[in-house]
Structure 1
């Protein structure tokens, strides 16, 4: 709801327009101090890394390993968050005197996270005395106990919700274990940066000469990649880290990122969209199909020639991933049309032993967007099924899986995304149980995608100065969505036209009788187009075409005017 008095007061204190002030209020920033920090994120606003649970213990153990010249292995997950985390910690530790190795599990052979199979293979390969599990390990009780029996110790750096019994690790640096829930927005990349910061601080306190000049800021490009790709909230410390990281990314000083940018054909600035839809999917592709080693090698590549070869391989794997995804998505949609009832079914759970486990998470995300239901999609994993879930606002997947634990072999994750394994015979029972939990927790209206608008405006309000001012809210992402506005009583200034290679999109020119603006409706070609007098919900944006910049309204929805 509009709050003009509060917006006017906040606008006066900040020196911004009342409309921007209203957008800040809509994001929970209704006092001038917090709003000012939000509009001007700076690295000096970051909190002391030692406030994180077990951080001091983890850093002390790492310095003991350095003193003893122990072999450390950085054991990561195979997604962008895990790979970027391993890359930045490997760079730091090897530069500052640690003997470190990297290990990424094979998705098909060893499964997700700190599994017993992966740990055995890792120990055979590295014979490390200290494991640093990154983006995994919070619930790996069995694997950590197995390592302890062999006199190996584990530090966990993770952001996933804990399960039942806490593993006996040396330290578990996980904000989910903090009763105050500080830093709960951080993913593994953010936590790894905090660990790197803590290591450098301790080294300087100990007056070790090589730490005095070591700068952690060049890592911020990797932090931005991992944070955006993991779709965690772009608020709090994440906003600070991603803002600084995006500035670093523009330079593409790493040969690997420069090569990846080239194969992705990114010619302009790198922002959240470019990470989420161009760079991130290519880095993820290798780990989705087999092993993420190629993505890690790319990030650590020293030469442009090596980087170019690796980037081309990832681009090829990404095209293969897209082919698999399209085939499985089409099959899943066909099956859903035959048995899914949107009036009675609160969840979507489906799977097939023939579906590739590397892409079921993407398929789950697409189905969740289409049907707006908590969704799990499973693929074949030997004698079991392994699945990935995506949720809707108000339904905590990790908590729901804990209630379903008797039906599951393994599970883990957080509120909005999770992974799970089960035997095929339990798939139907899991669907039923998850549906009961969702029916208990979600009201009917929570199963409809919400349309949250920041304000009502006129077309005359949409000046270049206003659009520039709105950009101060960037980077947009989870819990800081793009500004969504509405205009009432518009008409078509001329006939809409289909655009795009397959004519799937629609371009409009809308007018209120005084001003005319271009609008674009992505994938709106087969929908009912606005006619007569209508109200329009949209995201204001600028479109650059043939060197010219103009205002464009990205259509979200429309309705006939009352």
Structure 2
């Protein structure tokens, strides 16, 4: 049996072909036994629950997350009651209300939630989404002046606004009331003067719901609006059924990669059930253009629906996603979904071109790939895809990466970075800004954005490498892959996959289960278009397990899989394989290790 200690490495693997240590997820034996006895679970599943921090007291709610058990009191959010009063006042006075949304899925979902509630109440709201290229992120003084001139009485910002101090000051000057619905981190003492600011991450909020996406905050706001409207006896018939819009709350929670724990887990789990009815015309139309079907899953949301909604904000018209999710017209939804699908195809092509160029850039430099931080820049890289590319390169090189697209005409480079656990990229970028190396910059531990003069990029690269050298070295030593259970090719079947689906939905705070298979042989390797590799795995159990490794053909993992023969250890995630009704599984390979090289 494999040793799960970090010193030895799971299956003895201290350095895999991707350079990682393999570890067994740590779980308290007494909690594992409690889950087994109290809930009738197998040892591997009970152990997986314990390793994810699920206690005996929280196990029942984790396995069956319900809104009834986990919904927070809206009044526990700072300014929530005040926001509800202001918005219901606007409803009764028939004011001109504009929803100002961020251009990503969370912003679009949040906007659609609020628009749909007001529509049921008889008031149609306008949606404004800033253009990523010309306006940038969040509210600006110019945007608020434009909305005021257009006759807006009240603006509701969603998934943005909490840090827009200049814009909010401008709104106060021109007499434009603003209610902020946000979830981004705020610094102490940074609560702007505004009609209401609802954000579980504002310094004085005590709701304990800081892991919510903006769509989750907006969903709680709808409960507060129902309560306020009920208090004023505004319902002549049934109240708006908030459960019908749980699909939108789930979209924001999953696509914004939030911690799927507690109430947020209930939103995602129950929202996927609602989504599976495909009653939202926009989501149904997106499924049609994606040529997908079946009950909604995290895969549908994260890989089919979300990227298409985001495509409008990345390389197209920024308001397409919010319009799609808020429309009740199937014909309009079909047209918008078609536009977003085409934009997503263009986005993938642009992304692939930038990624290939970035890899060439990194690897033609004799020492850059070995640096603590990779900073890669070229002319005319599209700012809408550089963040995605930075994330891909971070996965490939296992270190912080910043990708910069240079606009020579404007003499500016716009950069986006993604970091490795244990390396605080946002802090390093902030230090570079304070050092005068950047025009603008900021972020958090795992992601950052910046603007820089092209001529300063070499100095910026040197500064960041020196600044992050110690953290990067420590992070590389701790870079590991956490494994839930050891399986055989015969035992990795549909029954095992179904059993572990009791942990779903997966995401941050509840990672998808990872399985290891020892001493397997690789048969029938095949390189696929896109750099993927497909194989069949066999071992002494007599089973045959289909497996695929994505985007790996030109890596050590891909080269080893394509060799065929010879025993290897593999680690990956089980996925359903329903092709032609077979109800099987396949393994998505995450890592490979040579048993002889430990």
- Of 66, 74, 78, which aligns to 1:42? 66
User: Helix, strand or coil for the counterpart of 1:176?
Assistant: coil
2:574 to 514, 529, 540: 540
Tell me: higher relative CO, structure 1 or 2? Use CA pairs within 8 A at least 6 residues apart. 2
Q: Does structure 2 retain, via aligned residues, the 8 Å contact 1:350–1:377? A: yes
Contact 2:314 2:385 in 1 (8 A): yes
Selected match of 2:119 from 90, 94, 100: 94
Q: TM-score, normalised by structure 2?
A: 0.86
Q: 1:75-121 CA deviation, whole Å, 9 max, x = no partner?
A: 11111111111111111123325563211011112111112333333
Q: Please list the CA deviations of residues 393-416 of structure 1 after superposition, one character each: whole Å capped at 9, or x if unmatched.
A: 234444444434434444455443
Residue equivalent to 1:480 = 510
- Sort the Cα spacing of 1:184 and 1:560 in 2 relative to 1 into closer, same or farther, 3 A: same
Q: 1:153 to 1:404 in 2, by over 3 A?
A: farther
- Aligned position for 1:157: 181
SS across alignment from 1:334? helix
Segment drifting more, 197-206 vs 425-434: 425-434
Tell me the equivalent position of 1:466.
496
| Corresponding residue number in structure 2 for 1:384 | 412
SS of aligned partner of 2:537: strand
How many residues matched?
Answer: 558
Q: In the alignment, is residue 455 of structure 1 matched against residue 485 of structure 2? A: yes
How far the C-alpha of 1:216 sits from its partner, in A, is 1.1
Q: Which residue of 1 aligns with 2:248?
A: 222
- Map 1:150-229 onto structure 2 (within 5 A): 150-162=174-186, 165-178=190-203, 182-210=208-236, 213-229=239-255
* Structure 1: distance between partners of 2:530 and 2:165: 51
From 27, 35, 43, give the equivalent of 1:18: 43
Q: CA deviation at 1:175?
A: 1.8
Alignment partner of 1:420 is 2:455 = no
Match of 1:510 in 2: 538
Tell me the equivalent position of 2:291: 265
Shift of residue 41 of structure 1? 0.9
| Map of 1:76 onto structure 2 | 101
How far the C-alpha of 1:320 sits from its partner, in A, is 1.6
Shift of 1:140: 0.9
Q: 1:28 aligns with which of 53, 68, 72?
A: 53
TM-score (norm: length of structure 1): 0.91
Counterparts of residues 294-443 of structure 1 (less than 5 Å): 294-339=320-365, 341=367, 345-380=371-406, 382-406=410-434, 407=436, 408-411=438-441, 413-443=443-473
- 1:144 Cα deviation from its structure 2 partner: 0.9
Q: 1:163 to 1:337 in 2, by over 3 A?
A: farther
Q: Any conservation in 2 of the 1:365–1:390 contact (CA below 8 Å)?
A: yes
5+ residue gaps, structure 2, are 1-25
Q: Which stretch of the first structure deviates more once superposed, 68-77 or 179-188?
A: 179-188
Contact 1:2 1:455 in 2 (8 A): no
1:480-512 per-position Cα deviation (integer Å, ceiling 9, x unaligned) = 2211122333345xx333164568322113122
Question: Aligned residue for 2:23?
Answer: none
Structure 1 unaligned runs (5+)?
A: none
Query: Pairwise CA RMSD of aligned residues?
Result: 2.7
* Cα displacement (A) at 1:16: 0.9
2:162 to 138, 146, 171: 138
CA distance in 2, matches of 1:72, 1:447: 53
Which stretch shifts more, 190-199 or 180-189?
A: 180-189
- SS state at 1:542 partner: strand
Cα 1:130/1:503, change in 2 over 3 Å: closer
